[in-house]
Chains A and B, each alone.
Chain A
Amino acid sequence: MPQAYVPAAISRQPWSVLLPLIALVAFGAAVLYSAAGGRFGIWSATHLMRFAVFLVMAMVLARVPQTLFRRMAIPVYVALCLLLVLVELIGGIGGGSQRWLNLGFMTLQPSELMKPGIVLVLAWFYSVLPVGEVQGWRSVAPAAILLGIPAGLVMLQPDLGTGLAITFGAIVVMFLAGLPLKWFLSAGAAALIVAPLAFFTLLHDYQRKRVLVFLDPESDPLGSGYHITQSKIAIGSGGFFGKGFGNGSQSHLNYLPESHTDFVFATMAEEWGMLGGLFVLLVFGLIFRWGLKVANNAPDRFSRLLAAGMTMTIFFYMCINLMMVMGLAPVVGIPLPWMSHGGSSMMTNMICVGTIMAVERWSRAGPRGLS
Chain B
Amino acid sequence: MNSKLPITSAILTHRFERRSFVMGALQGGVGVLLATRLGYLAVAQNEKYQAESESNRVNLTLIPPRRGWVIDRFGKALAANRADFRVDLIPDRVEDADETMKTLAELLALPPDRVRDIRDRLDKARGFQPVEVASSLDWDKFAAVSVRLPELPGVIPQRGYSRFYPTGAAVGHLVGYVGAASAEDYEKERNPLLITPGFKIGKDGLEKQFEVRLRGVPGARRVEATASGRIVRDLGTREDVPGKPIQLTINAGLQDYAARRVGLESGSVVVMDCDTGDVLAMVSMPSFDPNSFSDGIGRIEWKMLSEDDHVPLRNKVLRGLYPPGSTVKPMVAMSFLEAGLDPHATVNCSGGLRVGNRVFHCWQRRGHGTVDMAKGIYQSCDVYFYHFAQQLGMDVIAKMARRLGLGQEFPMPYPGQSYGTVPDPAWKMRKYKKEWALYDTVNATIGQGYMLVNPLQQAVMASRIASGREVMPQLLLNRNAPPPKSMGFRQDHLDYIHAAMSEVVNGRGTAGRARIPVDNVLMAGKTGTAQVVGLNIANGKSGAWKYRDHGHFICFAPFDKPKYACAVAIEHGGGSGAAYPIARDVMTYLFAPDKAVAVLDEFEKQWGGNVQQRMANSYNSFAARFGGSAPKPVPDDEDLTERVEAGRKPDLAPTDAQTDAAAPRAEPDPPFISVPSPPSPPLNPPLSQGGGQ
Residues of A that sit less than 8 Å from B by CB: 131-132, 134-135, 172, 175-178, 180-182, 230, 232-240, 249-250, 253-255, 269-270, 273-274, 277-278, 281, 284-285, 288-289, 292, 295-296, 301, 304-305, 308, 311-312, 315, 319, 322-323, 326-328
Contacts and interface: CB of A to CB of B under 8 A. Distances in A.
Contact of B38 (A249, A277, A304): A277
15 contacts: A177-B12, A233-B53, A234-B53, A235-B49, A240-B43, A249-B53, A253-B224, A254-B227, A254-B228, A270-B53, A281-B31, A281-B34, A281-B38, A285-B28, A301-B16
Contacts of B13: 301, 304
A317 to B, nearest CB: 12
Contacts of A285: 27-28, 31
Contacts of B42: 235-236, 238-240, 269, 273-274, 277
Contacts of A253: 56-57, 224-227, 232
Given A131-B7, A236-B41, A239-B46, A176 B53 contact: no
A311 B27 CA distance: 10
A274 B38 contact: yes
Given A237-B52, A281-B34, A326-B41, 19 more contacts: A172-B23, A176-B16, A178-B15, A180-B1, A236-B49, A236-B53, A237-B50, A250-B56, A254-B227, A269-B42, A270-B53, A277-B35, A285-B27, A288-B24, A301-B16, A308-B20, A319-B30, A319-B34, A327-B41
B75 interface: no
B150 interface: no
A249 B57 contact: yes
Contact of B37 (A175, A270, A328): A328
B3 A178 contact: no
A261 B579 CA distance: 82
Nearest to B15: A178
B633 interface: no
A135 B30 CA distance: 30
A183 to B, nearest CB: 10
A315 B27 contact: yes
B19 interface: yes
Contacts of B43: 239-240, 274
A281 to B, nearest CB: 5
Contacts, number: 141
B271 to A, nearest CB: 59
Contact of B56 (A233, A277, A296, A326): A233
A3 B384 CA distance: 135
Contact of A235 (B33, B35, B41, B57): B41
A282 to B, nearest CB: 9
A289 to B, nearest CB: 7
Contacts of A249: 53, 56-57, 224
Q: Pick from B6, B7, B11, B33 the residue with the most CB of A within 10 Å.
A: B7
Contacts of B24: 288-289, 292
Nearest to A305: B16
B659 interface: no
B49 A237 contact: yes
Nearest to B5: A135
Q: What are the 8 tightest A-B residue pairs by CB atom distance, in nearest-first order?
A: A236-B49, A237-B53, A178-B15, A274-B42, A254-B227, A249-B57, A237-B49, A236-B41
Contacts of A172: 23
Contacts of B11: 178
Nearest to B34: A322
Contacts of A240: 42-43, 46
Given A131-B8, A135-B3, A253-B227, A236 B45 contact: yes
Contacts of B8: 131
A301 B52 contact: no
B48 A236 contact: yes
- Which size bracket describes the interface of B in this complex? 35 or more
A18 to B, nearest CB: 20
B6 A132 contact: yes
B27 A181 contact: no
A312 B23 contact: yes
Contacts of A288: 24, 27
Contacts of B49: 232-233, 235-237
B536 interface: no
Nearest to B19: A176
A237 B27 contact: no
B17 interface: yes
A165 to B, nearest CB: 15
B676 interface: no
A270 B11 CA distance: 48
B613 interface: no
Contacts of A326: 34, 37-38, 41
B39 interface: yes
Contact of B34 (A180, A238, A304, A323): A323
B23 A308 contact: yes
Which among A177, A236, A249, A281 has the highest number of chain B CB atoms within 10 Å?
A236
The interface centre, meaning the residue of B3, B34, B43, B45 with most chain A CB atoms within 10 A of its CB, is B34
A106 B345 CA distance: 119
B9 interface: yes
Nearest to B56: A255
A270 B46 CA distance: 11
Contacts of A180: 1, 3
A175 B19 contact: yes
A176 B19 CA distance: 6
Contacts of A176: 16, 19-20, 23
A332 B605 CA distance: 79
Nearest to B28: A285
A175 B16 CA distance: 8
A183 B38 CA distance: 35
In this complex, the member of B30, B41, B228 whose beta carbon has the largest number of chain A beta carbons within 10 angstroms is B41
B234 to A, nearest CB: 15
Nearest to B24: A292
Contacts of B12: 131, 134, 177-178, 301
Nearest to A274: B42
Contacts of B53: 233-234, 236-237, 249-250, 270
Contacts of A250: 53, 56-57
Contacts of A274: 38-39, 42-43
Contacts of A284: 31
B23 A292 contact: yes
Contacts of A254: 226-228
B93 to A, nearest CB: 12
Contacts of B41: 232, 235-236, 326-327
A175 to B, nearest CB: 6
Among A253, A281, A322, chain B packs the most CB atoms within 10 A around the CB of A253
A181 B11 CA distance: 14
A132 B11 CA distance: 11
B50 A239 contact: yes
A260 to B, nearest CB: 15
A233 B11 CA distance: 50
A175 B39 CA distance: 32
Nearest to B32: A281
A234 B38 CA distance: 11
B227 A269 contact: no
